[in-house]
Amino acid sequence: MSEVDLELDFSGRTVLVVGGSSGIGNGIAHEFHTRGAQVHVWGTRAGAQDYAGSAGSDLEGLGYTQVDVSDPDAIAAAPLPFDTLDVLVLSQGTVLYKRQEFERVGWDEVMAINLDSVLHCARRFEQQLESSRGSVIVVSSIAAYMATVGTPAYAASKAGAVSLTRTLGQAWAPRGIRVNGIAPGMVETKLTAITTEHPQRRERALSKIPLGRFGLPADMAGVALFLASPLSAYVTGQTIVVDGGLTL
């Protein structure tokens, strides 16, 4: 094994991916599992069997718990999946269209899931992460850095997640916990189906990506592995844009 392979070997490590039941989080969960980690995911459905046949959801080899992260009490009460925790990935997220995010109910829902729960989940596992000198990876979005059409809570929540990544990175560094983030561009998941499954919107979106393709969950997973590994031992509080050049 090369030096780099060794640093990306997660055998004996434990990983929890919140929002690991689908899409980007699910891809990240499998990448850690492939590299030897014990991986547990949280999602919204009652049981792992409820994801059978859903595109972008493969729970084979992963532990699963239903936790509605819009409810801080549910996060506090969720069972700890492992005695120790090395890596916490926060990939939960939602978006509401048709101007729902301009209304109070829609705003509150998106902020609760995309921003508030990032802090609540991180705090839930603070002790375990300190014991393992572990790391947190927050999946935000390039929406953190720009205006988005019709989804003010999504953009604000993601800007908040980037900010929280910085502040937690600073606050927890003395305790040996690194906190970093990934800001994906456009990845085909159920969250983006409104664009990717509409022929004209799909073409328009693709034409704006210098690397000429949508991102894959595996593209995000590669960066997550790096951020959880000793290769990034001196990086904290940073969010890496992974967008095929879209924001250039």
The residues that touch ligand NAP, with contacts defined as CB under 6 A, are 19, 21-25, 42-45, 56, 67-70, 91-94, 113, 139, 141, 184, 186-187, 189-192
- Our answer to whether residue 234 is catalytic in this structure is no
Q: Shortest distance, CB of residue 11 to ligand NAP, whole angstroms?
A: 25
Q: Give the bridge partners for 145, in sequence order.
A: none
Q: Shortest distance, CB of residue 175 to ligand NAP, whole angstroms?
A: 25
Question: Measured between alpha carbons, how far is 15 from 81 in angstroms, rounded to an integer?
Answer: 9
4 vs 144, 166, 213, 226, 238, CA distance in Å?
31, 27, 27, 10, 21
Question: Measured between alpha carbons, how far is 185 from 143 in angstroms, rounded to an integer?
Answer: 8
Q: Shortest distance, CB of residue 24 to ligand NAP, whole angstroms?
A: 4
Q: Closer to ligand NAP at the Cβ: 9 or 208?
A: 208
Q: Closer to ligand NAP at the Cβ: 140 or 232?
A: 140
222 vs 53, 81, 107, 148, 194, CA distance in Å?
25, 24, 32, 26, 26
133 vs 40, 122, 161, 179, CA distance in Å?
19, 14, 22, 11
Q: Closer to ligand NAP at the Cβ: 14 or 151?
A: 151
Q: Shortest distance, CB of residue 9 to ligand NAP, whole angstroms?
A: 25
Q: Closer to ligand NAP at the Cβ: 48 or 85?
A: 48
Tokens of 107: 């705003």
- 184 and 243 in contact (C-beta within 8 Å)? yes
Question: Which candidate in 64, 97, 145, 154 is catalytic?
Answer: 154
Q: Shortest distance, CB of residue 4 to ligand NAP, whole angstroms?
A: 26
Q: Closer to ligand NAP at the Cβ: 189 or 232?
A: 189
DSSP, collapsed to helix, strand or coil, labels residue 115 as: helix
Active site residue ranges: 154
